[in-house]
Amino acid sequence: MRKYLTAKEVKKLYNLHISTLHRWSREGIIHPIKTAGGHRRYDESELLAVMGKTVEIKGNRCAIYARVSTKKQADNGNLIRQLERLQGIAKRRKYVVVAEYQEVASGLNENRKELSKLLKIIAGGQVDIVLIEYRDRIARFGYKYLKEFCRQFNVVIEEVDDRPNKEPQEELVEDMIAIVTSFSARLYGKRGGRVAKKLVQVIESEVAAGENDGNGSNP
Q: Which of 69, 106, 182, 184 is catalytic?
A: 69
Contacts of 80 (CB under 8 A, 6+ apart): 74, 102
Residues 68 and 145 reside in one and the same domain:
yes
Residues 18 and 88 reside in one and the same domain:
no
Contact (Cβ atoms closer than 8 angstroms) between residue 190 and residue 165: no
- Total number of domains constituting the chain: 3
HEC string of 97-130? EEEEEEEECCCCCCCCHHHHHHHHHHHCCCCCEE
Instruction: Examine residue 187 and state whether it is found in any structural domain, yes or no.
Output: yes
Instruction: Examine residue 101 and state whether it is found in any structural domain, yes or no.
Output: yes
Write down the pLDDT at residue 218.
46
Q: What is the pTM of this model?
A: 0.57
Distances (CA, A) of 1 to 33, 41, 53, 116, 164: 15, 15, 22, 35, 53
- 214 pLDDT exceeds 70? no
Write down the pLDDT at residue 56.
44
Which of 131, 147, 166 is the last residue in one of the domains?
Answer: 166
Residue 69: active-site member: yes
Contact (Cβ atoms closer than 8 angstroms) between residue 32 and residue 25: yes
Which of 56, 81, 103 is the last residue in one of the domains?
Answer: 56
Distances (CA, A) of 117 to 12, 139, 184: 12, 15, 30
How do strand 33-34 and strand 40-43 relate by DSSP bridges?
antiparallel
Write down the pLDDT at residue 103.
94
Rounded CA-CA distance 118/67 in Å is 13
Write down the pLDDT at residue 136.
82
Instruction: Examine residue 17 and state whether it is found in any structural domain, yes or no.
Output: yes
Contact (Cβ atoms closer than 8 angstroms) between residue 35 and residue 130: no
Residues 109 and 148 reside in one and the same domain:
yes
93-152, pLDDT tens digit by residue?
889 898 999 999 877 677 889 999 999 999 988 899 999 998 888 887 778 888 999 999
Residues 86 and 131 reside in one and the same domain:
yes
Which domain range does residue 33 map to?
1-56
42-69, pLDDT tens digit by residue?
988 888 888 775 444 457 889 999 998 8
Residues 160 and 180 reside in one and the same domain:
no
Residues 186 and 202 reside in one and the same domain:
yes
